[in-house]
A and B are shown apart, each in its own frame.
Chain A
Amino acid sequence: MHDSLQLAGGALAANRGRTALIMLATAIGVAAVVLLAALGEGARGFVVGQFEALGTNLLVVLPGRNETVGGPPPVLGTTPRDLTIDDAYALTASRDIEQVAPLMVGEAPVSTAAGLEREVTVIGSTAEMAALRHLDVGQGRFLPRMDPKRGAALCVLGFGLAQELFGLAPAVGQWIRVGDRRFRVIGVLRDAGVSIGTDFNDLVIVPVASAQALFDRRSLFRVIAGVRPGADLTRASATVHAIIAGRHDGEDDVTVITQDSVVATLGRILGAITLGVAGISAISLAVAGLLIMNVMLVSVTQRREEIGVLKALGARTADVHRLFLFEAVMLAAGGGLCGLASGLAAAALVRRLYPAFPVLAPWWAIALALGVAIVAGLVFGVVPARRAARQDPVNALARR
């Protein structure tokens, strides 16, 4: 075994140019698999990280029963009981739930004294929303802590909307009209860009009771509940169901979405994409395998004499077979290891250049790349090896 490896290695070393080319082809394939998988994993890590920044400790409670987690509540069919502000605050009875923010959402025309008017998303909520959704206030302050069931003529504007309504003039202290009511601007959110799901740049946040009055609706759009750090989300979710059922005559008519399940779904989708991309790049490895076969076939023809001598000296067919197979596998494995090293190095480089982007080759990509390389070497090495082993020593030695 060791001797065969040495002989095969010697043959490879004797043909440095050829060996280097084949190893390069294999290396590129392996590096492509590793790097693409690493980038895919990086993208997944990045997106999932963004979601987690929103808080994986959030439960979102929606009125209405929905069997499939993650979708909106049914539009038709069931007529769920209202989800009220009292329901929302009842949730804080649970040890697992730290704070809640009731949420109303609607559209209303917003205008200023200057006469500008436009339909804008209006969110009704409470002071807790700022903490739960990580909202930063740039000017003024957020909604004050107050009785959630009492309205107040106060509002907070998104950064973009404030600029649109008041230009460079300070918005805080100005009055705006939302629907048929007037609100005093007490704060403007920091420029947040587009967070996933909601454009926090283009909205008005008013006290939740004011929003109920504005839209003439009692039922909340949803309740955001912050789960105590370290608490079990599944248990917290069960508690929410239990509390609501207790308040709704034993009927469990809300849907609870955990941020986790959303993140998990996204992670699965991006993981599948990564796998697909890595699979496609694995095809380049198969091409490298074909190259190996071609080169080995040429090598068999060139080394007729050597094969003949080996047979004359008493080499068994199996010995010759093994020799050529080892050569092919050594080419593939050598190229594979070089490719793995350069793929990992490239991933490390990207990681250094973009620290926010967690580019890291997953173990399965490494295994896939090396495995495919070595299997390609074996599979594509078989045909040349068999041809070599079948060489007739008489003919091989007669030629000169």
Chain B
Amino acid sequence: MTESPAPRASHASVLDGRTPLIEFADVTRIFTVGDSTVRAVDGLDLVIGQGEYISIMGPSGSGKSSLLNLIALLDRPSSGSYRFEGHEVTQAGDDTLAAIRREAIGFIFQFFHLIPRLSAAGNVELPLVLAGIAPALRRARVTRMLEAMDLSARATHRPAELSGGQRQRVAIARAMVTEPRLLLADEPTGNLDSQTGIQVIDLLENLQRTRGITLIVVTHDPALGRRAARRIRLVDGRLDADVSD
């Protein structure tokens, strides 16, 4: 990992005095399907500061999910540079990336992706298990997190016994239990009714404000997208708009 240079001048206004968390420089991600190649992300320059609330929007196939996977360190750019918290990560090993995900990044998915055989508490505990935290400490943190999500009464329930909103709150608890600095939400309300969706998004915004975490929401719901302070729009893997309030 190399030392990061000072942010470029063009970023200064966007960052608004924040420390950069994510710095993309000319990042491209190419997928090969048979003979054809798709530039899912095409020469993207993007800087996201610590504590920002960002929505990423765009039509289907615009590269939203690809960008999210790149940000999440689940995928690697085909070319370009990605600095996470100032460290170049494009060449980092799998275990290093896994360690960053464990320690710094929380995930929320459209389909919750809870492990069906584990209870709500078990699902929330999972990232702490992977982080190698001692059982007693784990249980305390899980209990606190479930309380914060108003899920204490549901701790022993399996995902199948929970409503959609409850499942997404379990997923949020799981994402937040490691106290990450970056929370990534991929269509977090996509599988919920509008009422529950609003509750979930209120919860996420509240976490972003009170804990100072960076929240990135990928959505194609304009109403949801408009709530973010900074709104990024992708078309064909390129930045179409980057608007801040």
Query: Which residues of A come within 8 Å of B, CB atoms?
Result: 3, 7, 10-11, 13-14, 305-306, 308-319, 393-394, 397-398, 400
Distance A227 CA – B233 CA, assembled complex (angstroms): 104
Query: What chain A residues lie within 8 Å of B87 (beta carbons)?
Result: none
Chain B residues with a Cβ under 8 A of chain A:
65, 69, 72, 74-75, 94-95, 98-103, 105, 107, 109, 111, 113-118, 122, 126-127, 129-131, 135, 174
Closest to A400 in B: B111
- The reply to whether A398 and B72 contact each other, CB–CB distance below 8 Å, is no
Report the separation of the CA atoms of residues A319 and B130 in the bound assembly, to the nearest whole angstrom: 8
B75 touches A10 (CB 8 A): no
With contacts A314-B101, A317-B95, A397-B109 taken as known, whether A11 is within 8 angstroms of B130 at the C-beta atoms is no
Q: Decide: A314 near B98, CB < 8 A? Known: A319-B130, A394-B74, A394-B75.
A: yes
Q: What would be 6 A-B contacts, judged by CB atoms less than 8 Å apart?
A: A7-B129, A309-B126, A311-B74, A313-B130, A314-B130, A397-B113
Chain B residues positioned under 8 Å from A14 (CB to CB): 116-117
Q: Which residues of A contact B74 (CB under 8 A)?
A: 311-312, 393-394, 397
Tell me the complex Cα distance, A75–B69, Å: 90
User: A305 to chain B: which residues have CB within 8 Å?
Assistant: 113
Contact B115 A306 (CB under 8 A): yes
Q: How far is the CA of A394 from the CA of B73 in the complex (A)?
A: 10
On chain A, the residues within 8 Å of B105 by CB distance are 314
Given A10-B117, A10-B118, A394-B69; A314-B111 close (CB under 8 Å):
no
- Complex CA gap A310/B99 in Å reads 12
- B131 close to A316 (CB less than 8 A): no
A20 vs B116: C-alpha distance in the bound complex, in angstroms? 20
Residue of B65, B118, B130, B135 ringed by the most chain A CB atoms within 10 A: B130
Q: CA A4 – CA B211 in complex, angstroms? A: 31
Q: A395 CB to closest chain B CB, in angstroms?
A: 10
For the complex formed, measure the closest distance between the CB of B42 and the CB atoms of chain A, giving whole angstroms: 18
- Complex Cα gap A23–B175 (Å): 36
Q: What 3 A-B pairs come out closest when comparing CB atoms?
A: A314-B102, A14-B117, A314-B101
Instruction: Tell me whether A316 and B95 are in contact (CB under 8 A).
Output: yes
Of the candidates B74, B95, B122, the one having the most CB atoms from chain A within 10 angstroms of its own CB is B74
| Distance of A283 Cα from B42 Cα, bound (Å) | 56
Q: How far is the CA of A10 from the CA of B72 in the complex (A)?
A: 28
Contact status A312-B107, CB under 8 Å: yes
CA distance A313 to B127 in the complex (A): 6
| Contact (Cβ within 8 A) A3 B115 | no
Name the B residues within 8 Å of A319 (CB-CB). 130
Q: Could you tell me if B103 and A314 are in contact, using CB atoms closer than 8 angstroms?
A: yes
Please tell me if the beta carbons of A312 and B130 are within 8 angstroms of each other in the complex. Answer: no
Q: Is the CB of A315 within 8 A of B75?
A: no
With CB as the reference atom, state the residue of chain A lying closest to B114: A309
Residue of B at shortest CB range from A2?
A: B135
| Most central of B98, B109, B174 by chain A CB within 10 Å | B98
Residue of A nearest to B186 (CB): A397
A311 touches B109 (CB 8 A): no
Asked whether B65 lies within 8 Å of A398 as measured between CB atoms, the reply is yes
Identity of the chain B residue whose Cβ is nearest the Cβ of A6 in the assembled complex? B129
In the assembled complex, how far is the CB of residue A108 from the closest CB belonging to chain B, in whole angstroms?
A: 85
Q: Which residues of B contact A315 (CB under 8 A)?
A: 98, 102, 130
Residue of B nearest to A306 (CB): B115
The one of A3, A306, A394 that contacts B129, using a Cβ cutoff of 8 Å: A3
How close is A247's CB to chain B, nearest CB, in angstroms? 84
Within 8 Å by CB of A313, from B69, B100, B107, B116, lies B107
Whether B131 pairs with A314 at a CB distance below 8 angstroms is yes
Residue of B nearest to A315 (CB): B130
CA distance A310 to B174 in the complex (A): 12
Q: Which residues of B contact A398 (CB under 8 A)?
A: 65
Separation of A29 and B74 alpha carbons in the complex (Å)? 43
User: In the assembled complex, which residues on chain A have CB atoms less than 8 Å from the CB atom of B122?
Assistant: 10
Nearest CB in chain A: distance from B187 CB, A:
12
Q: With a CB–CB cut-off of 8 A, which chain B residues contact A3?
A: 129, 135
A218–B142 Cα distance when bound, in Å, is: 99
Q: Which of A314, A319, A394, A400 has the most CB of B within 10 A?
A: A314
Contact B101 A312, beta carbon cutoff 8 Å? yes
Q: Which chain A residue shows the least CB distance to B118?
A: A10
Task: Give min CB distance, B72 to chain A, whole Å.
Answer: 7
Chain A residue with minimal CB distance to B70?
A: A394
A10–B122 Cα gap in the complex (Å)? 11
Alpha-carbon distance A319/B99, docked complex (angstroms): 12
